[in-house]
Amino acid sequence: MELHQLQVNRGLKDKKRVGRGGKRGTYSGRGVKGQKARAGARFEPMIRPLIKRYHKLKGDRFTSSAKPKILAEVSLSALEKNFESGETVSPKILREKSLIKSYYGKVPAVKILNNGELTKDLIFEKCSFSHSAREKVLALKGQIKEEPVRKAKKGKKQLSAEEIQQQKVKFQERVAKQRAAKKKTAEKRRKEARKSKGKKK
């Protein structure tokens, strides 16, 4: 045995107690005592129920049905410059003449506004108008062939007193039929129960 082979006798070292859980400390990241230090303690963060309420957003090109339709507005002065008398005005023709832009590859709906003067009789197709612009076009003997129909808002139908009374009578008749059917089924069950008791005896 030589000097370089000698080792220092430091004695036995106590083992460190290792906790159970995510971290390998003595308390496993739970702290000391308390409700959270006990086994099976799991608490939901306060912000989680708020995050669950938010709507999940779709991709960039997603268009929902609730999104309003894009309306392109065209003034009468622009029609005066770019159209001759007797020509037809439609969303497609306006897009070809670059008076309106297409959105997501589709031609938008068009509304004619009363901005400027118009001296030509034009033929309009699939265009909606403001009240004053419509009057100007008709005064110049212009033609409005096709106009987009606006969908009426869905609302509750107001019933008269007679209709309400009829509904009440129908409801009462329905309830009476249901009660009668329940009574019949209850009587059948009683009879069957009596017969089964008689057979057992």
* CATH number, position 119: 3.100.10.10
Residue 10, domain member (yes or no): no
- For 66-118, the pLDDT digits (tens) are 544 668 899 999 999 999 988 999 999 999 999 998 887 888 889 999 888 89
Q: Of 127, 129, 126, which is closest to residue 139 (Cα–Cα)?
A: 129
**pTM score of the predicted model:** 0.43
Domain range for 96 is 71-146
Residue 136, domain member (yes or no): yes
Q: Exposed, middle or buried by CB within 10 Å (0-12, 13-18, 19+), for 90? A: middle
Residue 29, domain member (yes or no): no
Residue 86, domain member (yes or no): yes
Dist. CA 146–CA 141, nearest whole Å:
16
| Greatest alpha-carbon span in the chain | 123
